[in-house]
Chains A and B, each alone.
Chain A
Amino acid sequence: MDSYSRRDLLRLGLLTPFASRLALAKGSRPELIVRSSRPQDLETPVSALTDEFTPNDLFFVRSHFGPPLIDLKEWRFEVRGEVERPARWTLQELQQVGATRRPAVLQCAGNGRALFKPRIAGAQWERGAVGQALWGGVKLSDVLNKAGLKPEAKFVTFLPGDHPMASKVPPFRRSIPVEKALEDVVLAWQMNGAALPLLHGAPLRAVVPGWAGDHWIKWLRGIEVATKEDPGFYMQTGYKFPTEPIEPGGKPKAVKTLTEIPVKSLIVKPAAGARLGMGNQRVEGVAFGGKGPITRVEVSVDDGGTWGEAQIDPATVAGTWQRWEFHWIALSGSQVLRCRATDSAGSVQPREPAWNPSGYLYNAWDEVQCEVGA
C-alpha cells in the first residue's frame, strides 16, 4: 500500500479526531480502565471508540515490562542476521530509508479475556483493548530491501527495548514470517500525526496490520533476520492457539502460533448502561478483523432470534476497521443489543467464543444492555 494522499486522509476521517478532541475538551475526558497499574495496562472505554482514529491519550496501553526511556542520542536501529548489509541507523537515518502512513487496527491478543468462562490468567481485558490509529513510519519492506535479504531469510524477529524485571524473565521477542514483513508491516515513529508516545513504544514500534497486538513490538531497538523464528518463550510457548476447537477448560492436543485477529464487531454507542428514550435511536459500532473486508454487520434485540442489517462504511485497506450504524426503534424496558459481523470469506462472529487456555482472540457477539424509558 502506498502513502496516503491528503484526499485519502480526509476520506478516512483523519480530521475527525481533532474535531472530537475539541468537543471533548469542553466536557470531561473519558478515563482509562486500569487492568494493571505497574506496568500500565489500561483499557479504553468502548464508548470512546467513536472516531475513525482513536485519540492517542485514550488508546489502550499494554506493556509487558515498563517503558524504557530511551536516549535517542545513543539509540541505533540495528538490522542484523541474514542480510547482505547489516546496519545501525540513527532515527534520522532510518527516516531517510522511506516514509509512509498507514491506518490499522491494533487489538491486544487478550482483548476479551475476562469474558471467557472458565476464567483465565492474565490481564483481565473486557472489550476495549482495541483501537485504530494512523501510523507513520517506514515500510519494513523498504528496510529489508535496503539491507538486502539473503535467500535463506525466513523470519524477522523484532528486538524489543523494554527490560524484563529479572534475569530469568524472557525478553518479549516476537518473529513474523518474511512474507508478512514484506507485505504491509510498518516501523512507526508517529501515531495519528504526533510523535509516537512513550506508552505506545517511542521511539519506534512495529505495526503489523491484521495481526494481533503481540506482534506490534514497542520500543524497538532493531530487527534480526533469521532462518528460524525466535527460540524464546514468547514465540515457542506464549501466544499459541489450539489448532482444533476445545471444550472450555480443556487442554488442546496441538497448538499453532496465533496471527490474524478473527472477525469481530463492537457496539460503541449506546454505551453499556445508557438510559435512552423510546423510539428512533442510532446504534453505532466498529467491525474489523477476519479474512478480507467486513461485508455485513447485524444487530439483534432478541438474543439472536432475529437480526437487522446495519449500514457499514466501505472497506478501505486491509487491517482497518469499518464503522457501522443501525437504526433502532427502541421499545421501553431493559434492552440488550447484540451485534455480529461477517467477513468476505464468510466467517461470522460466533455466539460462543473459542475458549483457549490463554484467553486469546475473543470474538463472540458483542452485547450492550441499556434502559429505554418512555
Chain B
Amino acid sequence: MKRGAWSIAVLAVSCASPRPTPIASSSPDAGASPVQPTAPSPAIASGESKAAPAPPAAPVPPAEQPPPAEKITYEEGILLQAEACLSCHSMELISTSRLGEAGWKAEVVKMKNWGAPVEDGQVAPLAFWLSVQYSPTDSAPPAPRISPAKAIAAVTPTTRQKVRGDSKLGATLYQNACALCHGADAFGLGGGPVLVENPVLYQPARFTGLIRRGAGRMPAFPDFKPAQINAVLSFLQSLPGTSG
C-alpha cells in the first residue's frame, strides 16, 4: 500500500510538467551509449520524445518507504532505462507496455540474461521504476504514425555501389572509435546496434551524418575526414553476414 501511494505521487509529478527527456542530451555517459543508425525518421523520433514525459525533479518518497533496494530517483531511472533498455528497444515499445512490477521484473531479468547492462542490484529498482512510469493503471500514449514511404525509406539503400575507401585503415579506425559499443566484429554488444549488413551502410549521406553529428545516444565524431569515413564504411561493407 505504501508503494502504491508512492506510485501515485510519482505519476502525479510525471504528468504535471513534461520537459525534454535527458536521453537525447549529451550526458557524460553518452560515449558509452551509442547511436541506433536504424533510428528512422524525424516523425518517429518526435513520437519517441513525446512518449517520454519527464518530471522536473526526482520524486520525494514519503517518510515510510519501500525497502532501500527499490529506491531510485526519476533521473536515475531515466539513465538506467537509456542504458539497459533503449540501446536495443525504441521508446514506443516500452512506453506502451503497461505492466505491473512483476511483469517488468520478468522482462528485465530476461533482458539481463541476454546481455542488457543491468547489475543484480538494479533489477528490482528498475522494474519498480518502469512499473511506476508505465503503470498498467495509466493509459499509454497514442501510437505515432508513419507514412509507408518513410517506413520504407528508413531501410532503403540510396546506392548499391560499395564505397572506395581504405578498408585496412577503416578497420583500425573502427577498432579505436566504434568497437567499444558496436563490437569488434560489428555484430553489436547490446550497447550499439549491429552494423554488419545494416542498410545504413548503403545510405552514405546518412552514415556520414551519423558519424560527424552523432544521433540519439551516439557521440559525434566531427573531426572524421571524408577519407576516414569512407575507410570505415569500406571496412564495414566488407564484413559478411552469416545465418543465425
Taking beta carbons and an 8 Å cutoff, which residues of A are in contact with B?
29, 31-43, 57-58, 61, 65-71, 74, 78, 114, 118-124, 159-173, 197-199, 221-222
Could you give 17 example pairs across A and B, Cβ below 8 Å? A31-B147, A36-B89, A37-B146, A40-B151, A40-B155, A57-B149, A66-B194, A114-B96, A118-B136, A121-B104, A124-B140, A161-B243, A163-B187, A163-B194, A163-B196, A167-B183, A221-B243
Q: Hey, which chain B residues are within 8 Å of A161, CB to CB? A: 197, 241, 243-244
- List residues of B (96-111) whose CB comes within 8 Å of A's CBs: 96-100, 103-104, 106-107
B146 in contact with A31 (CB, 8 Å)? yes
Query: Of B97, B154, B202, which is within 8 A of A121 by CB?
Result: B97
Q: How big is the B interface, by class? A: 35 or more
Q: Hey, which chain B residues are within 8 Å of A118, CB to CB? A: 100, 136
Given A67-B199, A161-B244: A57 and B103 within 8 A (CB)?
A: no
- Bitwise, B81-118 to A at CB < 8 A (1) or not (0) is 00000011111110011111001101100000111000
B244 in contact with A162 (CB, 8 Å)? yes
Taking the complex as formed, is B28 at the interface, i.e. its CB lies under 8 A from any CB of chain A?
no
Q: Hey, which chain A residues are within 8 Å of B154, CB to CB? A: 40
Considering the complex, give the chain B residue whose CB is closest to the CB of A45: B145
Query: Of A57, A124, A166, which is within 8 A of B114 by CB?
Result: A166
Complex-state Cα separation, A40 to B40, whole angstroms: 9
Taking beta carbons and an 8 Å cutoff, which residues of B are in contact with A?
36, 38-40, 44-45, 47-48, 87-93, 96-100, 103-104, 106-107, 113-115, 136, 140, 143-149, 151-152, 154-157, 183, 187-190, 193-194, 196-199, 201-202, 240-244
Q: Hey, which chain A residues are within 8 Å of B48, CB to CB? A: 37
Q: Hey, which chain B residues are within 8 Å of A67, CB to CB? A: 155, 199
Q: Which label, helix, strand, loop or mixed, suits the secondary structure of the A interface?
A: loop
A32 in contact with B148 (CB, 8 Å)? yes
In the complex, number of A-B residue pairs with CB atoms less than 8 Å apart = 170
Complex-state Cα separation, A42 to B150, whole angstroms: 12
B80 → chain A, closest Cβ, in Å? 17
B241 in contact with A78 (CB, 8 Å)? no
Query: Of A69, A123, A222, which is within 8 A of B198 by CB?
Result: A69
Extra pairs beyond A67-B155, A172-B244 (13, CB < 8 Å):
A31-B145, A34-B44, A34-B144, A37-B45, A37-B144, A39-B38, A61-B151, A121-B97, A165-B188, A168-B190, A169-B115, A198-B156, A221-B242
A35 → chain B, closest Cβ, in Å? 6
Complex-state Cα separation, A199 to B202, whole angstroms: 16
A38 in contact with B38 (CB, 8 Å)? yes
Query: Of B90, B100, B143, which is within 8 A of A38 by CB?
Result: B90
